[in-house]
Structure 1
Amino acid sequence: MKRWKTLFGAVALSAACVPAWAVPTLSFTSPGSVPPGSFVGVDVVISDVSDLYAYNFSITFDPKVVDVGGVSQQGFLSSAGPTFGTTGEIDNSTGIISFAGYTLVGPQAGASGSGSLLHITFNALANGVSSLNFSDLVFLDSNLNDIAVTANPGSVTISTIDVPEPGSWMLVGIGAVAAAALRRRTGARCAACA
């Protein structure tokens, strides 16, 4: 009887152990702070997705802080086969990349895993922080079923990088060393003259 209880307990525990599936996450890579007048690259990354066949989304940003210099498709979706789509329409006056989307072509399984979907090059215009937000999300599997995706916002920080000035004592020390070297050099010449 004890064996049956042990066996039943093991079967019940095994049945309760259901694999946990991670919810796919859409996010931005986190660039460091850059000064105005420079460029900064940000990737749109999908994580833990299964059978991604097509996607579409829009991205908003602060046009007073950055504008978009360019958008390019990255290799995650195309790793599953040929693709067709658009990097979206850029409107730097309102701060939006509208309807960036790609799909695989033909009947095939979608891409699975994690990787970069798009690369965005921003031009740093002025000091500040530009929030990056997703909207209009559509993600489909190879059967054209919706894939639920969690979208995480991001940001780009533009700030003037302060170059530290040398300390006063350091300048005095450098001056003293230079004066001593000059005196030694002048003293050596005078000794040769005598």
Structure 2
Amino acid sequence: TIDWSNVRDELTREYGAKRLVSAAGGGQIIEPTGMNYIGTGPSWSRSVVENLLPKIFAGTKKIAFIEWHTGLGDYGELSHIPMMEPGSEGYERMFEWLGDDARSTWAKGMGDFDGVTPDYRGWFSAWLPSTAPQAEWTGMVIEAGTYGVVEVMDGIRIDRWLKFGKGRSYLSRDEMRV
């Protein structure tokens, strides 16, 4: 339960870093007790927002957004994660606004995986532009770092085991939370 580095390394070799990081950070729909389970359909709040936003944005020509997260990256450091397709106008516009220094922050925050970006299908901002396809979108997630990718993944994994795990561990639940 505590040291899964051999399993993590084997999964990375077998499936690649992108699939591992996507399963850990991008959301998955296969295992309800697993890390970052996003469910099999929209939540109630998503359904309400999905109904309202197209009406609110109906006449909108330009939309910019920031979705804030905490977790991945060096403590106190910001990672700018573009939610537009690389090379698109919205992607380039984001860096025009923020400056070129912002381009390197995501790769740095994902240092344990060489800047590999997950598939964000479970994130609000990955879905948001579909609410106003007529608009010019620019958007990002800003991740305020707390710990490195591996430490965050370990914390989420242990949290899931504490909630759903069976069996015994040589460590108490309180020791695992530290």
When normalised by structure 2's length, the TM-score is 0.24
Q: Which has the larger radius of gyration?
A: 1
**Bigger proportion of residues as strand:** 1
More contact order relative to length (CA 8 Å, sep ≥ 6) = 2
When normalised by structure 1's length, the TM-score is 0.22
